[in-house]
Amino acid sequence: MPKVLKAVAMERCIGCYSCMFACARIVHDSLSWSRSGIRVRSLGGLTAGFEASYCLACPLTPCIDACPSGALKEFPGGGVRYQRELCLRCGRCASACPVNAIRLDGETGEPVVCLHCGRCVPFCPHACLAMVDATGNTVGEETI
């Protein structure tokens, strides 16, 4: 069964940004956290907590519908697959995302999106993130 990334326990997040660095380095081959598919931000200081912004695997896929070149494809069960060679760098996917999970890279103009690969999960020291199956059951620190 396909798995998607979920922020299952953000109340434990300490804002270390390890998930962001892991995504940028391992998935997007970058040393800059601006190339991360997951973004963590403070809600107003350490006591207010943190929130994670990532692709929520929308069932209606507005980003895919907005893409004129077919560079974004839907994974079975949710999430997207990005095909760099098809991308026109028009930004329509980012504009269509209802949760602002797609950002355009400032240097390349390419979209940076969470691919639900799960590579960030083992880097979270407090298990705030998990891969879950389509029914919402946690499946551990596996990757798809």
- Classify residue 24 by its DSSP letter: I
Residue 33 placed within a domain = yes
Q: What are the pLDDT digits (tens) for 44-74?
A: 876 789 999 998 888 888 999 999 999 999 8
Number of structural domains in the chain: 1
Residue 105 placed within a domain = yes
How far is residue 37 from each of residues 30, 33, 88, 117, 135, measured CA to CA in Å? 12, 9, 19, 10, 23
The pTM (predicted TM-score) of the whole model is 0.82
Residue 46 placed within a domain = yes
- Classify residue 134 by its DSSP letter: T
Q: What are the pLDDT digits (tens) for 90-130?
A: 999 999 999 889 999 988 899 999 988 899 999 999 999 99
Residue 74 placed within a domain = yes
CATH number for the domain harbouring residue 26 = 3.30.70.20
Residue 137 placed within a domain = no
CB neighbour class for 96 (10 Å; exposed up to 12, middle 13-18, buried from 19): middle
Radius of gyration of the chain (CA): 15
**CA 88 to the chain's CA centroid:** 20
> Which range of residues forms the domain containing residue 46?
3-129
Distance CA 113, CA 82 (A): 8
Residue 140 placed within a domain = no
Residue 138 placed within a domain = no
Residue-level pLDDT at 19: 96
The answer to whether 1 and 39 have CB atoms below 8 angstroms apart is no
Residue-level pLDDT at 115: 87
Residue 135 placed within a domain = no
Distance CA 84, CA 87 (A): 5
Residue 59: how many CA atoms within 13 Å on its side-chain side?
A: 1
